[in-house]
Structure 1
Amino acid sequence: MRPLPSAWPFLQWLFLGSLVGALAGLASAIFLYLLERATHLREQHSFLVFTLPVAGLVLGAVYDRWGKPIRGGNNLVIDSVHEGDAQLPLRMAPMVLLGTVLTHLFGGSAGREGTAVQMGGSLADAVAHRFRVPSLTRRELLAAGIAGGFGSVFGTPIAGTMFGLEVVVIGRMSYEALLPSLVSAVVGDLVTRGLGIEHTLYPVPAPLPLTVPLLGKWLLFAGAVALVAVVFVESVHAMKKAWERYVPSLPLRMAAGGALLVGLWQLVGTDMYLGLGVPGILRSFTDPELPVAAFALKLLFTALTLSAGYLGGEVTPLFFIGAALGNVLARLLGLPLDMGAAVGLAAMFAAAANTPLALSIMAVELLGASVLPHVAIVATLAYLLTGHRGIYPAQRIARLKHGGPLLRRLVPLRELPKEDEDPRA
């Protein structure tokens, strides 16, 4: 008869996961409160957007002086999961929090998941080094930090759990980190909500029976989502390289990018594409006259903001891009407007971040079970159609998307072009 497993690992993960989740949830609550205040202030005083170049110059100088060790952002967190024992700088948490809030205060188009993931990762690593845990435990705790940050900032603990497991490696789930990630995400969400933070409520689409003709429409829909996701990913990477080549000074780069954003804002004549863009996301569910170019304009605003060096994530802007694109596709394909926006919202980020399972679950947590199986079908197809690229170049590939055996080593996305044609070699 086999002996019963020890309760120690379970108790250890309950404690460490809860501690990381509580810290991540507290950080997310502070961040979301400040972000709401900054957004409200900017909406009440639009002249603040005109000062974005000056804010970029100051932020760039501060970040260039004290932020070089954390400049990798989400990619630094993912790299830390895979290699080395050097601690993520604890300064990452306050610096990305304040930097992202200021980006939104002055009108930059960015998200919030990047900030939450980096805060969760740096706080988790501080816990790991404080308790001197082994290297393997540290990597699992970092995944829990990612899960706690993501789950608490969006109010989606189960999606946060899956995101922490799915985002670090393409083609292999890190189930060894399942328990700490789940504990961290659930506790983080409870802490954030317990501190009075209210998350955005999205419309719940009516159930839509799956039929053969509808499957054909979803295939076309997935192709369009994948195409726009590829444009977003490649645009951000290409624009970032161009900025770094032609304007090597970070303060000047951010100032120049801010000036271009102000000019673009004046050209389009609306605040719709500034900041998170939540009102635009909600409008996509109900407005049959949403501008056809709304998704493209939000893509441009966001790519320019992030490539120039402003802080923030990609999730909420990608939600906007996906929902607005879904609105347009729903009108073209004869789909319910709210279902098109809902599926586009989740599938766009799933394709860009290579996380179809997490975003399918997230769609259910945000939009209700009626989005299944539609969002899972489109997210999976779009994820496959985007190829081996994504918004996080540090993601490792364990298995090629088109199948085959596990690779002999984990290949970072950023190194894939340097590999032979087949990375299994």
Structure 2
Amino acid sequence: MNFISKFITTTKINKYRTFIFTLSKWILWGAIIGIVVGTTSALLIGVNDYVTEVRQENSWLVFLLPLGGVIIGYLYKYHGKNSRKGVNLILDKIHQPKINIPLIMGPLVFVATFITHLLGGSTGREGAALQMGGTITEFMNRNLKVRKEEQKILLMAGISGGFGSAFGLPLAGTLFGMEVASAGKMKYEALIPCFISSFIGNFVTMAWGIEHEEVIIDLVPSITTFTVIKVILLAIVFGIISICYSELKHHIRKFSMKYLKNPMIIGLVGGITILALVYIVGTKDYLGRSLPMFEEAFIGTVPPFAFLAKLVFTAITMGTGFRGGEVIPIFFIGATLGNVLAPIVNLPTSFLAGLGLAGVLCGAINAPITSFILAVEMFHGKGIEFFFIVCIVSYIFSWHHGIYSSQKLYEPKTKLFNLPNGESISHIKLKKRV
């Protein structure tokens, strides 16, 4: 009897030790990732802000955009290995641990993002932050000989640290790392390292003196049946616009790879096309991050087709090999679309700009929980019920589309549209063509 009692006691002690050891390990690794990713994000944001100012003061730099495309294409063709896949490569690694992420991916996306921003490509920054997080995590996985199952969790933490530090939204960053790889199926085991990485990454970025852009919703309508119906219909529109952007970008990329083939030629043609568009629309407002017009969407009026212009500029930029990110341009597309629709549906401008931002983002990244929490953080909890509706509806009506082709889609979305469960977006589209 004493032997059995002693055995049970020893087993319990061992379980507690294992739990404490695992918890401590996740906290330590999440903190390391957060510190390194937060520092690199601060450097990325600081340099991007600087090169953007340089471009604005030297408008002639935009004429070098085709040359920049050639340089980026050269770097990825001869030195990038398979890092051209960008964020999709990190998602592939989460699904298939045997895939290797080249450590050159982080430094390379740094340089390519600076070139893109300096010369006026329509892009953001989170793509670079996510790829840096993935590269840093891959380095840890190799040198610390992390088990395959734990590698997935650390990669999610790297994504969380990159997103949270890039936007100053640590809660959204936590969930983004857990949700984006497999829409409809979250790995809750990754919660602690993703939380630690995102929060510490954000704290470190702020400690380096980085300030993130802020927009405010000044008026939220009352919850009525008529208003809810309006919001649902608008959410469907936001979901459809997210499809338009995702599909245009993917088709440009496929067309370029099929007919132009050489990344340097693709970059050259992409740069020339963007230059041509600048003269067609008669403004440079859609180059870079377009922050002035984005902020104006919450307080004033913007051109009626600003959302469409930004959609096309960004799809060409990202589809022809330039680097940076897509979330800030998606913010712009959603906010300006909401601004234009506000007087038509008789809803407050800043409120609808915020709904558009969250709705188009949700449809593009297929992450309704992340998008909802992002809206709660960004707009300080205003209109929380409406944002929940918009994110759910937009998620459903974006169907099997999204900006990350390696993202896998799970229930409940796939049940509604009778799609295969657990397939990546790229595989779903391939099967639909056959």
TM-score (norm 2): 0.93
Contact 2:97 2:151 in 1 (8 A): no
Displacement after TM superposition at 1:304 (Å):
0.8
Give, as a single letter, the amino acid of the residue that structure 2 aligns with 1:349: L
Contact 2:182 2:410 in 1 (8 A): yes
Q: Give the whole-Å Cα distance in 2 for the aligned partners of 1:157 and 1:115.
A: 17
- Which residue of 1 is the match for residue 361 of structure 2? 349
Q: Give the whole-Å Cα distance in 2 for the aligned partners of 1:267 and 1:200.
A: 29
Q: Give the whole-Å Cα distance in 1 for the aligned partners of 2:322 and 2:420.
A: 37
Contact 1:397 1:411 in 2 (8 A): yes
Q: Give the one of 267, 275, 289 matched to 1:262.
A: 275
Displacement after TM superposition at 1:418 (Å):
4.0
- Which residue of 2 is the match for residue 107 of structure 1? 120
- Which residue of 2 is the match for residue 328 of structure 1? 340
Q: Does structure 1 residue 210 correspond to structure 2 residue 219?
A: no
Q: Does structure 1 residue 195 correspond to structure 2 residue 208?
A: yes
Q: Does structure 1 residue 47 correspond to structure 2 residue 60?
A: yes
1:44-101 alpha-carbon deviations (Å, 9 max, x no partner): 1111001111121122112211013201101000000110334421211111011011
Q: Give the whole-Å Cα distance in 1 for the aligned partners of 2:237 and 2:129.
A: 29
Partner SS state of residue 71, structure 1? helix
1:97-146 alpha-carbon deviations (Å, 9 max, x no partner): 11011101101001211111111011011112211111111110000000
Q: Give the whole-Å Cα distance in 1 for the aligned partners of 2:298 and 2:430.
A: 42
Q: Give the whole-Å Cα distance in 1 for the aligned partners of 2:412 and 2:77.
A: 37
Q: Does structure 1 residue 124 correspond to structure 2 residue 112?
A: no
Contact 1:205 1:371 in 2 (8 A): no
- Which residue of 1 is the match for residue 254 of structure 2? 241
- Which residue of 1 is the match for residue 232 of structure 2? 219
Contact 2:420 2:428 in 1 (8 A): no
Contact 1:20 1:144 in 2 (8 A): yes
Q: Give the one of 381, 385, 399 matched to 2:397.
A: 385
Contact 2:362 2:371 in 1 (8 A): yes
Q: 1:279 to 1:138 in 2, by over 3 A?
A: same
Q: Give the one of 150, 170, 177 matched to 2:190.
A: 177
- Which residue of 1 is the match for residue 413 of structure 2? 401
Give, as a single letter, the amino acid of the residue that structure 1 aligns with 2:265: L
Q: Give the whole-Å Cα distance in 2 for the aligned partners of 1:418 and 1:269.
A: 38
Farther off after superposition, 205-214 or 272-281 = 205-214
Farther off after superposition, 148-157 or 129-138 = 129-138
Displacement after TM superposition at 1:209 (Å):
2.3
Displacement after TM superposition at 1:170 (Å):
1.4
- Which residue of 2 is the match for residue 138 of structure 1? 151
Q: Give the whole-Å Cα distance in 1 for the aligned partners of 2:429 and 2:357.
A: 29
- Which residue of 1 is the match for residue 3 of structure 2? none
Percent of pairs identical after alignment? 36
Q: Give the one of 145, 168, 176 matched to 2:181.
A: 168
Partner SS state of residue 382, structure 2? helix
Q: Does structure 1 residue 306 correspond to structure 2 residue 318?
A: yes
Output the aligned Cα RMSD. Answer: 1.9
Contact 2:331 2:358 in 1 (8 A): yes
Partner SS state of residue 109, structure 1? coil
Larger radius of gyration: 2
Farther off after superposition, 105-114 or 406-415 = 406-415
Q: Which structure 1 segments of 5+ residues have no match?
A: none
Q: Give the whole-Å Cα distance in 2 for the aligned partners of 1:407 and 1:207.
A: 37
Displacement after TM superposition at 1:420 (Å):
7.7
Give, as a single letter, the amino acid of the residue that structure 2 aligns with 1:357: I
- Which residue of 2 is the match for residue 148 of structure 1? 161
- Which residue of 1 is the match for residue 84 of structure 2? 71
- Which residue of 2 is the match for residue 33 of structure 1? 46
Partner SS state of residue 328, structure 1? helix
Number of corresponding residues: 420
Give, as a single letter, the amino acid of the residue that structure 2 aligns with 1:372: I
Farther off after superposition, 148-157 or 361-370 = 361-370
Q: Which structure 2 segments of 5+ residues have no match?
A: 1-7
Partner SS state of residue 127, structure 1? helix
- Which residue of 2 is the match for residue 291 of structure 1? 303
* Greater share of residues in helix: 2
Q: 1:409 to 1:370 in 2, by over 3 A?
A: closer
Contact 1:147 1:185 in 2 (8 A): yes
Give, as a single letter, the amino acid of the residue that structure 1 aligns with 2:215: Y
Q: Give the whole-Å Cα distance in 2 for the aligned partners of 1:18 and 1:315.
A: 25
Q: Give the one of 15, 23, 31 matched to 1:18.
A: 31
